Structure 1
């Protein structure tokens, strides 16, 4: 761990790392290494493994540990890592948190417990046990897919516990702004979708996580550079292009579509794990044609 604060350390484009699987649904570590090296070569600023886009909830705790260990090994301290350790039960989340700390990752993040009905006090207790189990920075992770939105009131309580940041993938920009305004200046609020990257940066956010960065890191990295240089008109045009790319993902199941996009970048990748499925050849062709039309399979993207 370095001397920098989490706000200084986690800025810019944080890649939500896809996890590739082979035909037997085992993690394809060779493909994972190729993907990480590809994104690092394009200038990403951080890694966020084992999250929702990474299919962390579809992996066993043992698999998640191995994926994180491998990610740390491949990264070689080139960029900071936030390990997603959230789980449906508190015991597993704490176990994964301690494991992540043993690997000397820069921070951990946790979604709220999901699926099982709980109240806010139970969610607070869950987050409390996690932060009490480790000595590294801990982020909350607000994710629309869990069906549990972290309220501003709960976030204030988590900050009092010592939470140093949050990834907000709630896709509710007014709520993101409320989180930002009601948090101390040292609190690192990361926008959790590239769809709102530029608006979040414009409101004072320091960085954002992205799924499209797996296939098109150049777009995301360039947007952040343009913003930092004050070239807001150019950044806005790039944000529009990213929105068009995200729209293409809706041609099929979003995560499955991203696997297709990574393969289009000539990265021999792999496939998702069930219940997600590889896309049909017809859908793959539609996606390829749309991406070509968007100009993303030409130099410097190819």
Structure 2
């Protein structure tokens, strides 16, 4: 019996005839966790409940299937279900808004073909952009030109505009420098970068150079440059960042948004004070990774979210009475109080 032919991809128009890529607006983007039921299926109600919570807090956009979202633990069908649940909630919660809320889906794979397939599936489920890591499995066989070529080929074939995800720890140590990222910024189908490398010097070079590079290719200066951690939101804004894509914003979305608002209002001292509390809390989220973020969900959002603290095997949840959760509870106490205060102010201001 002959093997069946692989499925063909939907035709993708050439870059020069594709619709213009929608830029990412400035602001706070939240890489959501994956939520599971006790029977280890995707918890759609919890996913939609958290989506609505984040939108009510004033975030600019949502990200699914990043490293914080256990993308590597999900099947293709589960990935699609999560995107669909988030996109449906966004449509329901923001139907009166004139500005659409971006839904950025992680679509990382090791080959151009599979990455493009994931982009098509994400678009069909309602995503507006694709977040893509550099391929790192064969790192030793791929130089900087090869990595840049990978993104350029995906961008040409993908129905979604791309956001480059520079996270060396998740890409076998591949760390894109500012020269490569500026080359990619010249592609009209690549609209931004998430710098989880934490390099604020690189961030500053991209903020300065991307508009010039895009202008040379006939485009506008609408290339989103954002840090990938909440512990340097203000530092990034000072050198011109357009926002942040931070997992800690799952816990303290209002505090993360407020740092940007204070900075824009020229109230830098207040922004600095709030950044200090966010940085202390985020350090624990960084240390414990997505397990720490999930463990803190009921701490920040109430005991009804206890099920949201459960990861997928082979990982186990952090024990509620264990040392890690006690440390998280104590270390995040300051930003928790700030988040509660901001929520109360929002209610009082209505």
TM-score by length of 2: 0.78
Decide which of 301, 313, 318 is 1:274's aligned counterpart. Answer: 313
Contact 1:61/1:92 (CA < 8 Å) preserved in 2?
A: no
Contact 2:29/2:245 (CA < 8 Å) preserved in 1?
A: yes
Which runs of 5 or more residues in structure 2 are unaligned?
Answer: 1-18, 95-100, 212-220, 345-350
Decide which of 38, 44, 47 is 2:62's aligned counterpart. Answer: 47
**Aligned residue number for residue 289 of structure 1:** 330
**Aligned residue number for residue 145 of structure 2:** 121
Matched, 1:221 2:290: no
Contact 1:86/1:109 (CA < 8 Å) preserved in 2?
A: yes
**Aligned residue number for residue 167 of structure 1:** 194
Deviation, structure 1 residue 142: 0.8
Decide which of 106, 111, 123 is 2:128's aligned counterpart. Answer: 106
- Distance change >3 Å, CA 89–CA 75, structure 1 → 2: same
| 3-state SS of paired residue (2:147) | helix
Contact 1:57/1:87 (CA < 8 Å) preserved in 2?
A: no
What is the rounded CA distance, in whole Å, between the counterparts of 1:101 and 1:293 in structure 2?
39
Higher alpha-carbon deviation: 116-125 or 291-300: 291-300
> Which of 1 and 2 has greater Rg?
2
Matched, 1:260 2:295: yes
Deviation, structure 1 residue 275: 3.2
**Aligned residue number for residue 201 of structure 1:** 237
Decide which of 75, 79, 82 is 1:67's aligned counterpart. Answer: 82
Report which structure shows greater RCO (CA 8 Å, sep ≥6): 1
Higher alpha-carbon deviation: 29-38 or 155-164: 155-164
Contact 1:140/1:165 (CA < 8 Å) preserved in 2?
A: yes
Contact 1:39/1:214 (CA < 8 Å) preserved in 2?
A: yes
Which runs of 5 or more residues in structure 1 are unaligned?
Answer: none
Deviation, structure 1 residue 292: 3.4
Deviation, structure 1 residue 239: 0.6
Deviation, structure 1 residue 202: 1.2
Q: How far does the alpha carbon of each residue in 1:129-175 deviate from its partner, in whole angstroms, 9 at most, with x for none?
A: 21111344222111132221112232233233332211111111112
What is the rounded CA distance, in whole Å, between the counterparts of 1:244 and 1:140 in structure 2?
27
| 3-state SS of paired residue (1:276) | coil
Deviation, structure 1 residue 262: 0.8
Decide which of 167, 173, 177 is 1:151's aligned counterpart. Answer: 177
Deviation, structure 1 residue 296: 2.8
Pairwise CA RMSD of aligned residues?
Answer: 2.5
What is the rounded CA distance, in whole Å, between the counterparts of 2:256 and 2:20 in structure 1?
27
Contact 1:292/1:298 (CA < 8 Å) preserved in 2?
A: no
Q: How far does the alpha carbon of each residue in 1:222-246 deviate from its partner, in whole angstroms, 9 at most, with x for none?
A: 1111112111110011110111101
- Distance change >3 Å, CA 89–CA 40, structure 1 → 2: same
Matched, 1:183 2:210: yes
- Distance change >3 Å, CA 295–CA 104, structure 1 → 2: closer
Decide which of 32, 53, 56 is 2:71's aligned counterpart. Answer: 56
TM-score by length of 1: 0.89
